[in-house]
Amino acid sequence: MGWDFLITSLVIVASPGTGVVVTLAAALSRGFRASAVAALGCTLGIVPHMLAAITGLAAVLHASALAFEVIRYAGVAYLLFMAWMTLRENGPLRVEPDAAPRSDGQVVLSAILVNLLNPKLSIFFFAFLPQFVAPETAGALARMTELSLVFMAMTLAVFLLYGAFAAAVRDRIVSRPAVMAWMRRSFAAAFALLGLRLALAER
């Protein structure tokens, strides 16, 4: 495993995307534990894409325009739904002590869906990983699996750092209603922009 793979993966993982937004929202609304659960869910959401790339299903997805478009617009719809929910005062970014907290299962499921409904992640695994695995090398499948697990571990670690930082400044933010309202609108806009970017992205 070379430094080129590790550095490239770190840049991709650390770049703000839907998983980062979900993790930060969880940290600001419910603290570090919730952000850790969200980070775990986002990481688990990578598994289907990893398996698709390893088994060659990503090639089918890449070749089928209809399958790609169906999954892509399902992802767009879900991101817009997340934007709408975040704008609501009793949505995912709520901090009221009397509000019923979301269960760990709900947080994990929401985080998994964010990555599961992102067809670009499958294409990324299909196009990125093979560059670091020579097809004629014995054990190429095991090598691709190893690299995928390293990518997932990096994702979890980076997202936990994002969550820890957001949780550290949480008290300064949630005690100010005006700041929370601004944060709610910012996160909603982030989800909406990510959905728009996905809708407009070319294959």
Range of the domain at 136: 17-200
Q: Does residue 72 sit within a domain?
A: yes
Percent of the chain whose predicted confidence (pLDDT) is above 90: 14
Q: Give the tokens for residue 112.
A: 């998994």
Report yes or no: 136 and 130 within 8 Å, Cβ to Cβ: no
d(CA 165, CA 167): 5
In this prediction, residue 90 carries a pLDDT of 54
d(CA 166, CA 32): 8
CA triple 49-155-68, angle to 5 deg: 25
Percent of the chain whose predicted confidence (pLDDT) is above 70: 66
**pLDDT of 192 higher than 50:** yes
Q: Does residue 156 sit within a domain?
A: yes
Give the DSSP letter string of 140-183. Answer: HHHHHHHHHHHHHHHHHHHHHHHHHHHHHTHHHHHT-HHHHHHH
| Element housing 127 (H / E) | helix 119-128
Q: Out of 10-24, 66-80, 94-108, 184-198, pick the least confident.
A: 94-108
Q: What is the pTM of this model?
A: 0.71
pLDDT tier at 29, thresholds 50, 70, 90? confident
Q: Does residue 78 sit within a domain?
A: yes
* 118-141: pLDDT as tens digits: 666 766 677 667 667 665 556 767
Q: Does residue 7 sit within a domain?
A: no
Tally of domains in the chain? 1
Q: Give the tokens for residue 185.
A: 């609108």
Q: Does residue 83 sit within a domain?
A: yes
Report yes or no: 58 and 123 within 8 Å, Cβ to Cβ: yes
In this prediction, residue 189 carries a pLDDT of 81
- Which residue is it, tokens 């992640």? 121
In this prediction, residue 97 carries a pLDDT of 47
**pLDDT of 142 higher than 70:** yes
Q: Does residue 159 sit within a domain?
A: yes
CA dihedral 10, 53, 146, 41 (to 10 degrees): 60
Q: Does residue 1 sit within a domain?
A: no
Q: What is the average per-residue pLDDT within 101-127?
A: 75
Q: What is the average per-residue pLDDT within 63-74?
A: 68
In this prediction, residue 91 carries a pLDDT of 55
Q: Does residue 135 sit within a domain?
A: yes
Q: Out of 135-139, 148-152, 155-159, pick the least confident.
A: 135-139
